[in-house]
Each structure stands twice: as structure tokens, then as C-alpha cells.
Chain A
Amino acid sequence: GENVEQHPSTLSVQEGDSAVIKCTYSDSASNYFPWYKQELGKRPQLIIDIRSNVGEKKDQRIAVTLNKTAKHFSLHITETQPEDSAVYFCAASIAGGLTGTASKLTFGTGTRLQVTL
């Protein structure tokens, strides 16, 4: 089955700096790669996702890049703010088929991001 590795496990940056989190996946059939932000005691919330037919996607301060050949994808957060502090999870799955959805996500182990003043 799919295996997703994520690093670093913890990341501390100063406010205004950039943060980069990297993930690798094992199943070349995976085609959907979401990133979730989870604050303490809260549910995971989708912040950005990318499909295998594109190499990069950007949404304001957040961007994700995908290298299908190397089977890795990364999350980039620019101009970090204290409210960006949370645990971030990458995930991979195969989207499509009967349900058209990507419900069977395989998650990485998470990165705890701390943005200091």
C-alpha cells in the first residue's frame, strides 16, 4: 500500500520567514495530494491540494509543488504569521473511480510548525 513520509517533524520559524515541509510517497498511482492544518484539539482542515496533472499550485501565502518523477511534494508558506502555528499533515491517495473522491487518504506523520514573534 501507499506510504507517505513527512519531514521535518518540528519546524520553528520567525514571523515573516518562510516555512517548507516536504513529503514523499511510494505509490506511483497516487494522483491527489492534499495538505491539512490541524490546530490543537481541532479537526484537520484542508488548506491546499494538488493533482498529478499539475506541478505547482498557489493560494495567497501558500503554495504546493509536486514532482511526480521523484514522488515528492512540498508545502511552502511565505510571510508566516503566528496564526500559522499548527500541525500540518500531507496526504496522498488515488482519486477517481466509482465514488470520484479520494477518501482513502494516507497521511504523513505531521509537522509541528511554530511561528515565533
Chain B
Amino acid sequence: DAGVTQSPTHLIKTRGQHVTLRCSPISGHKSVSWYQQVLGQGPQFIFQYYEKEERGRGNFPDRFSARQFPNYSSELNVNALLLGDSALYLCASSGVPGNTGELFFGEGSRLTVL
């Protein structure tokens, strides 16, 4: 079975632009979460979506938005990019309620803002 897949793997943008990152969860997983990992730090929670509804949001500005589609894939959008948005963006999926709760991370999308 395929794991969590993310695209693109690397991208370079300039300040003020917007970016869309995509994530496909493990087959059967209904929950997708997004994390931002700045170099040298631990991942920080951005969003959780479950059954296509936002279930949690971290301390990020409104420039960050996300959505989940009927097939449970997800997009993370960031508008008006700042230099500080340069980071590895990780998507994680998890299974149905009652399971172990383990998060399965994708390889991430590395965003560089110039």
C-alpha cells in the first residue's frame, strides 16, 4: 500500500506569491493534518481535517487555509508568502476513530521563499 504522498516535493516562490501543496492520505484514512517544520525545529500543527471538515487549527495567520476533498485528499494554501514561510510542510494521515491514533507522515513539501 502507498503511504502518504505529497506534491510537489520542492518548490521555490518569491515573496507575495501564493502556493498550493497537495496531500493524498493512506487509503482508508479519513483524517489529514498539516504541519510546518522550520529548519532546526519540531513540526508545528497547522490544521486537521476529518471527514472534510476542519477539526483543529493551530496558531497560524489567515494566510494559511486548507480543505479536504471527498476522496480525503487535501490541499494547503498559503497566500502572500513571507520569507518566514520557508519550511518543510508535512502532511500526516490517520485512521478511523478507535485505532492507535498513530500519525503517518508524508515526505513533505520543501518550500523556499525568496
Give the B-binding residues of A (Cβ under 8 A): 1, 6, 32, 34, 42-46, 49, 89, 91, 95, 98-110
Contacts and interface: CB of A to CB of B under 8 A. Distances in A.
A103 B48 contact: yes
Nearest to B97: A100
Contacts of B44: 107
A95 B101 contact: yes
Interface string B27-46: 00001010100001111110
B97 A101 contact: yes
Interface residues of B, number: 32
Given A102-B103, A103-B92, A103-B94, A44 B50 contact: no
Interface in B6-57: 31, 33, 35, 40-45, 48, 50, 55-56
Given A34-B102, A95-B101, A103 B31 contact: yes
Given A42-B107, A98-B50, A104 B43 contact: no
